[in-house]
Amino acid sequence: MSRSDLVRSRSRLVYGALAFGALVLSGRLAFIQVIDGPRLSAMAREQRTRKVDLASVRREIIDRQGREFAVSVDAASIYAQPSEFEASPSVIAQALAPLLGTPAPELTKDLEGKHWRWLQRQRPVDLGQKIRALKIPGIGVIHESRRVYPKGSLASTLLGFVGVDNKGLAGLEQSYDDVIKGKSETLLVEVDARGREILRESPGSPMRSMLTDGPRVELTLDETIQHIAERELARSLAKHRARRGAVLMMDPTTGDMLAYAALPSYDPNRFREASWESIKNWPATDLYEPGSTMKIFTLAGALETGAVSPSATFPCGPRIQVAGRTITDHDAPPQIRHLDLKQIMEVSSNVGTVQAGLRMTAPAHRRMLAGFGFGKKTESGLKGEAAGVLPALPWRTIRQATVCYGYGITVTPLQLLTAASAFANDGTWRAPRFISRVVSQDGTTVQEFPPAEATRAVSEENARAVKEMLKQVVSRGTGTAAQIPGYNVAGKTGTANKAVEGGVGYSRDVISSFIGFVPAEKPRFIMLALLDSPQDVHWASMTAVPLFRAVALDTLRYLGVQPNVVERD
């Protein structure tokens, strides 16, 4: 064998071995990729990924016209892992202090110790980028979501707010947390060798982008009506130096809440600076004795039970004795007046209302009030909503008499509004609705929240009779300040002394309220205007009624409701 043949044969051997090796490798590769691929992929995925709860980004809240009440934006949270520090806490603090806006000595204290901790949460994304650019070992930035309320304090009492962990802490954000935080979904994110989420910490993470495209929660509120209500309420509070006030407006046919104004309020973007008194959703949680507005239900009950006929009249003096107690009418003439039901309502006569109410048996009276929803929650879904107190039977005569004109029974403003909506809706009322649906970005309905079932409280005929009484209150009685040219307004005033808090008896402070609807023939809305402890002037006719009128007038214009009462020059 020549030398060249030897070289050739050895070369073939080597090439053959290499080719065989390549074939073996290719075969192995094919086995791993094709046959064993799924199992290995699952193992690898398990090792390098972690399931992350996507429910941490809340859905946007919009009004019935699609205008944003609450949105979620990206935010950066800065943390410290002292075990990874390569410089002393004081040196790190010096570098971070100008960016975080915290004095260096204070920051140094925060950085001492061994355990992982947050330095600041939910700060602007730009700040996170600047801190990341410093590349300080042991200082990291995590992308989170932050709730922003672009309208500031508008409807804040109802909306509530969320904490740093994106959990609803007040208002609708808390009450409907499950709806607003959305369906719980999980996303697999990559983690590094130490188990840290790579995607979440990466500025290029697609995760947040995917989440912010989610469905939106549509409220029944109308932003413009809400603004009108809050604006006029603020003026009224300032004018009458009242402690607080509320304007609640509802579409009586559906139970949709159109406005829910309660002042003083707060800015939910800075909820930590707010007092509990301004955060509390008191129109749904606080009870009060409604006073004369309860006469609507007393006379409706008397009619519905057949205890009185629509044409009945009652002799009314300035006072009446019931079970040894004297019940008086304010500013009543000394002589006896014969008042029918309309007139009793018109002048808001306690004496006449008590006479009509006491024609009912106590159980029938109580049953009628329960039928309007008194003594139980309205099923609005609001957390902390109070049921009110409808006293249990048996009732002594004086108890029944005082309940007739709104004492000895307590309600929430929301409850009163809901109950009175029966007279604007042919005798039936519906639980208030705050959320109408959940919609996707393209407007497709994802989840529907239909109006509650209608509950019949009184017959259609009696509802119409009461409506006529309420119209007369505004046309001739205590509610004339609610008149709006071109429209028939129906409503009832209420001026109730406040019980002494933690004591016995009544204070000099009052709760002035007016509940009414317009146009009376086919109401577009029913509204409760309420002022707590107005000073100087107590009468609802001079405080709550003008407030009602101001809100109603602008709302009618906004809704484009045509006048149905033509007045010729």
Partner 1 sequence: MRTATLRHTHPLGAPRTAPLDWRVLARANSRRNWPVLAVVALLTANLGLYVASVVKEAALNRLQLDLKSARHENIRLRTDLAAARSPKAVEAAAVARGMVPAQDVLFARLHEANAGSAPAIAAGFGAPEGF
Report the alpha-carbon distance of residue 517 to residue 491 in Å, rounded. Answer: 6
Contact by Cβ (8 Å): 414, 283:
yes
Minimum distance of partner 1 from residue 3's CB (angstroms): 13
Contact by Cβ (8 Å): 149, 269:
yes
Report the alpha-carbon distance of residue 3 to residue 135 in Å, rounded. Answer: 64
Closer to partner 1 by CB, 432 or 479: give it: 479
Report the alpha-carbon distance of residue 483 to residue 480 in Å, rounded. Answer: 6
β-bridge pairing 216-219 and 60-62: parallel
Strands (E), 151-289: 161-162, 168-170, 186-190, 216-219, 244-251, 256-263
CB count in 10 Å sphere of residue 470: 27
Strands (E), 424-505: 428-429, 435-439, 445-448, 455-456, 490-499
Both ends of the chain: CA-CA distance in Å?
A: 132
Minimum distance of partner 1 from residue 507's CB (angstroms): 13
Report the alpha-carbon distance of residue 159 to residue 174 in Å, rounded. Answer: 9
In degrees and rounded to multiples of 5, residue 435 shows phi and psi of: -115, 125
Q: Which of 480, 460, 467 is nearest to 519 (CA)?
A: 467
β-bridge pairing 244-251 and 435-439: unpaired
Closer to partner 1 by CB, 407 or 517: give it: 407
β-bridge pairing 49-53 and 186-190: antiparallel
- Could you list the active site residues? 292
Closer to partner 1 by CB, 57 or 179: give it: 57
Minimum distance of partner 1 from residue 104's CB (angstroms): 31
Looking at this protein, which amino acid is placed at residue 484?
I
Report the alpha-carbon distance of residue 520 to residue 471 in Å, rounded. Answer: 7
Minimum distance of partner 1 from residue 543's CB (angstroms): 10
Minimum distance of partner 1 from residue 456's CB (angstroms): 30
β-bridge pairing 60-62 and 325-328: unpaired
Q: Which of 506, 424, 498, 426 is nearest to 459 (CA)?
A: 426
Minimum distance of partner 1 from residue 280's CB (angstroms): 23
Report the alpha-carbon distance of residue 547 to residue 566 in Å, rounded. Answer: 24
Minimum distance of partner 1 from residue 351's CB (angstroms): 9
Minimum distance of partner 1 from residue 454's CB (angstroms): 31
Q: Which of 169, 164, 190 is nearest to 180 (CA)?
A: 169
Closer to partner 1 by CB, 427 or 546: give it: 546
Strand, helix or coil for residue 20: helix
DSSP run (H or E) holding 216: strand 216-219
Tokens of residue 548, six digits: 């009602």
Closer to partner 1 by CB, 278 or 541: give it: 541
Strand, helix or coil for residue 219: strand
Minimum distance of partner 1 from residue 80's CB (angstroms): 25
